[in-house]
Structure 1
């Protein structure tokens, strides 16, 4: 009878035992993580640090507000010392506004351009991995990491700002429109995909980063000029005249005035520019007579209410995500045919 032998290599695990619940990366996902692990860990580390700092500063602000009279909070009568707790809110909000720039220039532009420049793309696609799968994973993994990081940071910033919004003119909703809610996530994904597309077309890392920077700056300029058009402009008016003692209409709380200023309202419902009869303003009688000849009965002011903030953010985010999806589709379709 042959004696049974014991083979330790077959019964003893080669390394420490892993739980079956711990996900394991493999294939292109593992490769993308391995290639860009420094950027991903930096992104995760910055997110954790940012969250800790914002939670701490918010706690200090809420402790200070708890010592103040609730009436003064509602009336905007907080002392000047309150600015010491809101200044960090502005500062960190301005820092987070650079996330889309960093996403496009330092994450998107080198993503594919670096692999094309070093020959990694040719090596990977010469194996069993198809171009379609490689490009899809190459886009998806950083996009998920970026969306997660931007979402967490802007979510915490929104949570920090929400208790004090409207307590002063500097804390009005329009000042935080671009750095709270869903807008920063969509904006970062848009600049990221634009950077990837530029890198795919130019195939040189440094050149792609410079060109992407210019494009991202242009996108930011257009966005800053047009985001108010996402809302529905409303107006408030009076019909008690514009002479001495007449009171101009008062805007709702936290509303932002739009247009050139106050318009003159006529009896027919038309609006005249505030420069109407301006050449006769030095003579009260002549000025009044001029306005009466124009049938002016009061003032009218255009404004955007704070109630439209979320709908405007979602509409803007939807547009940016649609453009980002189109650019991502272009990257995949173009890359399948002309990657190498």
Structure 2
């Protein structure tokens, strides 16, 4: 009997195999590639174009820095033209931020829902392929292409950003945390598997895409609220007073201040809100007396240091990988019994 999973090496002409860009693909892998080759080639093309553009822009930025006085390579020390390179970096970074959304809505949601809607799933599983094998292949092949494409884009973007970080306030590490390192790969795989799960449950392509979009937006909001908690908040304290002429301490280079801002530190180690004695700010003597009555001895600032960035990214990515694996397992277990 003719099956959809026949090895193409046995049926295709020899000449066509010699010219094939994907040699020796057979069975469900070949079928999944054929089904979604337009999306896969689009991903690969976007990756190649993106890598080329970023490599070119990085070269321009490095040429600009090479032409500057080495002493000017400090925060705020470069000419205003440097902001052009900063804007380019942020523009590309904002585009990369859409990858998880596109992965979930346009790759994940239609993946299984489309086959259920058109009857392809029933046709395939009536052949020599089990439901479990088909589902695993449907997950693994797109996930591999997505991880490769996203990983290459992120690696080149990170390579572009590293020599520029710390040269502008706009390039502080927290502003690009979610589009550098390993985070985008894990994020894209999570939204992709969520989209597949939604498509499997709803069984309608358009509805699945809309619902997936809402879930991905919710995930993005939750991530933006919690990722800073992955780091260890550090503090700077002073004990030389807070009177006239004294200023709060400076944060380390590339550190991001946390909390509501600067606190007042008391002799007992307690911290008071910066609005303490605010109503007496117009009178230095009265303001000082007010703070002394509350035993204020200095300032206290909370911050996240750039040295924690990589550990925070791997911790967050690890959680996303685990969630993606859990969702993928659900897809396989649920689909094995309720696919058709």
Query: Counterpart in 1 of 2:242?
Result: 242
Offset at residue 285 of structure 1 (A):
2.3
How does 1:136-151 map onto structure 2 within 5 Å?
Answer: 136-151=136-151
1:62 aligns with 2:62: yes
1:204 aligns with 2:204: yes
Task: Please state whether the residue corresponding to 2:15 is helix, strand or coil.
Answer: coil
Query: Counterpart in 1 of 2:9?
Result: none
Query: Counterpart in 1 of 2:79?
Result: 79
Query: Counterpart in 1 of 2:224?
Result: 224
Q: TM-score under structure 1 normalisation?
A: 0.94
Structure 1 residue ranges (4+ consecutive) displaced by more than 6 angstroms after TM superposition: none
Query: Counterpart in 1 of 2:116?
Result: 116
Offset at residue 40 of structure 1 (A):
0.3
Offset at residue 14 of structure 1 (A):
4.7
1:259 aligns with 2:259: yes
Q: Unaligned 5+ residue runs, structure 2?
A: 1-12
> May I ask how many residue pairs the two structures share in their alignment?
327
1:30 aligns with 2:30: yes
Q: Give me the whole-angstrom Cα distance separating, in 2, the residues matched to 1:17 and 1:125.
A: 27
Offset at residue 17 of structure 1 (A):
7.3
1:126 aligns with 2:146: no
Query: Counterpart in 2 of 1:175?
Result: 175
Query: Counterpart in 1 of 2:313?
Result: 313
Pairwise CA RMSD: 1.5
How does 1:9-48 map onto structure 2 within 5 Å?
Answer: 14-15=14-15, 18=18, 23-48=23-48
Q: Give me the whole-angstrom Cα distance separating, in 2, the residues matched to 1:281 and 1:159.
A: 47
1:303 aligns with 2:303: yes
Q: Unaligned 5+ residue runs, structure 1?
A: 1-12
Q: Give me the whole-angstrom Cα distance separating, in 2, the residues matched to 1:14 and 1:81.
A: 57
Q: Give me the whole-angstrom Cα distance separating, in 2, the residues matched to 1:209 and 1:16.
A: 36
Query: Counterpart in 2 of 1:5?
Result: none
Query: Counterpart in 2 of 1:324?
Result: 324
Offset at residue 281 of structure 1 (A):
2.2
Structure with larger Rg: 1
Q: Give me the whole-angstrom Cα distance separating, in 1, the residues matched to 2:23 and 2:318.
A: 32
Q: TM-score under structure 2 normalisation?
A: 0.94
Query: Counterpart in 2 of 1:285?
Result: 285
Task: Please state whether the residue corresponding to 1:80 is helix, strand or coil.
Answer: coil
Offset at residue 335 of structure 1 (A):
0.2
Offset at residue 74 of structure 1 (A):
2.7
Q: Give me the whole-angstrom Cα distance separating, in 1, the residues matched to 2:279 and 2:70.
A: 48
1:56-94 deviations in Å (ceiling 9; x for gaps)? 111111111110011101353100011122211111110
Query: Quick one: structure 1 residues 274 and 16, their matched pair in 2 at CA, closer, same or farther if it must change by over 3 Å?
Result: closer
Query: Counterpart in 2 of 1:156?
Result: 156
Q: Give me the whole-angstrom Cα distance separating, in 1, the residues matched to 2:331 and 2:16.
A: 41
